[in-house]
Copies of this chain bind each other. A is one copy, B any other.
Amino acid sequence: MQTDSLLKRNGLSVTESRKKILQLFLEGSGALAHGDIEKKAGEKFDRVTVYRTLQTFVDKGIIHTIPSADNSIRYALCKDECSEGHHHDHHIHFECSICHTTYCLDDVVTPQINLPKGYVAGHVEVVVEGVCKNCK
């Protein structure tokens, strides 16, 4: 199984919830919010388990967070070479205002930003809102 080896490779024990949640990310196209996962998982798992699983996956560099202006963080698989404590997700994100899907645009790299004197840049997040290819 794809999920099992991915979990093992990251030093995580293989459990039903982790397999199921990872599966959702692997098969789905867009990013998932906590609530999406609760629904899609078929209410098999405790809410707390979902919270803890997402946190574990983020810590291990399996998934990354996507900021939003509606107080619901979304999560998506890291396709870059992320590892424990070291995320390297340098792609931008796209939120469709019609179907509300959030996409990782893995091929669109984060632009260079010229900051005013005194500011030191770390990570740059870009979220583009618009209409996706399925909705126009």
- Interface, chain A (partner B; CB < 8 A): 65-73, 92, 94, 97, 105, 107-108, 111, 113-133, 136
Contact = CB atoms under 8 A, between A and B. Distances in A.
B94 A105 contact: no
Please state the number of chain copies in the assembly.
Answer: 2
A125 B133 contact: no
B94 A115 contact: yes
B111 A136 contact: no
B94 A125 contact: no
A115 B128 contact: yes
B122 A128 contact: yes
Contact of A105 (B108, B116, B120): B116
Contact of A69 (B70, B73, B97, B115): B73
